Chains A and B, each alone.
Chain A
Amino acid sequence: MAEEPDGPSRAKQHRTQWFKDIAAQLDGRGCLPTERLALLVVGSIARGWANKDSDIDIYVVANEPWADSRDRMLVPLDPDFVPLGTQYIESQRCEIKYWLDSQVDQMLSKVAWDKFERPSQTTKILHVAEELFLSRLVACIPIEGDTWVQRRQEQLQESAFKALLVTRSLAISDDSCEDALGQLDAGDLYSAVLSARRALGFSVDALLESEGSFESHTTKWRARRFRAVAPSQMKFEDYWRLETMRTFDAKNPERWVIDVVRTCKDLQTLIEI
């Protein structure tokens, strides 16, 4: 991708100003709580991976619940919902989620180290929306509330969040490897191939999570996350060769399945939890 003529820092300034303009417009339309702790741009736009059709994802954090919304997302927290809002700014769709600071407290308490000591629960500690919130907190752009964001990022850094996600992804990869091998034994080659693909995805997610790159549920960004992290344990070309099934032989799918499972096992020894 070509660098912008003014250089990355100038581009970042432009982008930050653009986000502030968007926030001002949302504020002017009465779409933001007056008393708020933080206003964050998250997702692909915050990472610089957006395209012209991408939504602008915004998280608002406040102490008081947002009442002016009919749409809500259910979460296993108290209160058990997050109000949602949608606005269009210059034909660009803007999605707003209204989180409470107390809900952030609850999410962080779910990823405390004592939860990690209970291995049977590590795969189901967080709801997808909770994992996404915490993941996005790492790579957000604060429009307002820098101090709040910094404090929450530090709390997340000190928590077992990363260890929990890595453990979760490795466990699913293990299950998928077992499935793939069992299906090969049973002659169910189509299922074995799909299980191996799943194992690979979760192994790579574990690798990226161990390097602090989260949002694994959004699989469309896996390759970009890989390139951004550039992990020492695996070359992008090797990952991409398997992901795109370049060496897959329809006449001998077993070979590709075994190659993938072996790669997953190799990664297990290299990924530090």
Chain B
Amino acid sequence: MTSDHMLPLDGASRMSRSLKAKFRNFRGKLLVAVGPDSYEFSASGAFILANTDGSNTLGEIADLLAEKYAVDPSTALADVVEFATDLAKLGILEGQ
């Protein structure tokens, strides 16, 4: 199930991981399964997912990402919003 009704997302959006998704932190990689589909995330993707627990806005997560990976905050925000949008469509993230 997707959270299309929450889209489009922006820096003020607050998302959390879907209760129906399964997560595994395997040898440093984050694996996610939703129904029959499974996905593997890079370290930065895993970092965003780990911080998407409903307590932070996407803007706040972007700030954390910018600090951790020393990237421009506006670029980080665009990346986080795009990433969260994709994951919402896959049913991995859902709106608060």
> Could you list which residues of chain A lie within 8 angstroms of chain B, going by C-beta atoms?
170, 174, 177-178, 181, 258, 261-262, 265-266, 268-273
Extra contacts, 18 of them, besides A262-B16, A268-B22 (Cβ < 8 A), are: A170-B24, A177-B19, A181-B19, A181-B20, A258-B19, A261-B19, A262-B19, A265-B23, A266-B17, A266-B53, A268-B23, A268-B25, A269-B30, A269-B49, A272-B26, A272-B28, A273-B24, A273-B27
Q: What are 26 pairs between A and B in contact, CB < 8 Å?
A: A170-B24, A174-B22, A177-B19, A178-B20, A261-B19, A262-B16, A262-B19, A265-B17, A265-B19, A265-B23, A266-B53, A268-B23, A268-B24, A268-B25, A269-B23, A269-B25, A269-B30, A269-B50, A270-B50, A271-B25, A272-B26, A272-B28, A273-B24, A273-B25, A273-B26, A273-B27
Q: Which residues of B contact A170 (CB under 8 A)?
A: 24
Chain A residue with minimal CB distance to B54?
A: A262
> Could you list which residues of chain B lie within 8 angstroms of chain A, going by C-beta atoms?
16-17, 19-28, 30, 46, 49-50, 53
Interchain pairs with CB closer than 8 A, number: 38
Contact of A270 among B19, B22, B25 (CB under 8 A): B25
Q: Which residues of A contact B25 (CB under 8 A)?
A: 268-273
Chain A residue with minimal CB distance to B46?
A: A269
C-alpha gap A269/B17 in the complex (Å)? 10
C-alpha gap A253/B40 in the complex (Å)? 34
C-alpha gap A266/B18 in the complex (Å)? 10
A182 CB → nearest B CB, Å:
10
Chain B residue with minimal CB distance to A171?
A: B22
Q: Which residues of A contact B24 (CB under 8 A)?
A: 170, 268, 273
C-alpha gap A268/B26 in the complex (Å)? 10
Q: Which residues of A contact B20 (CB under 8 A)?
A: 178, 181
Q: Which residues of B contact A181 (CB under 8 A)?
A: 19-20
Chain A residue with minimal CB distance to B21?
A: A265
Q: Which residues of A contact B26 (CB under 8 A)?
A: 272-273
Chain B residue with minimal CB distance to A177?
A: B19
C-alpha gap A178/B19 in the complex (Å)? 9
B80 CB → nearest A CB, Å:
17
Chain B residue with minimal CB distance to A170?
A: B24
C-alpha gap A87/B46 in the complex (Å)? 54
C-alpha gap A174/B19 in the complex (Å)? 10
A73 CB → nearest B CB, Å:
34
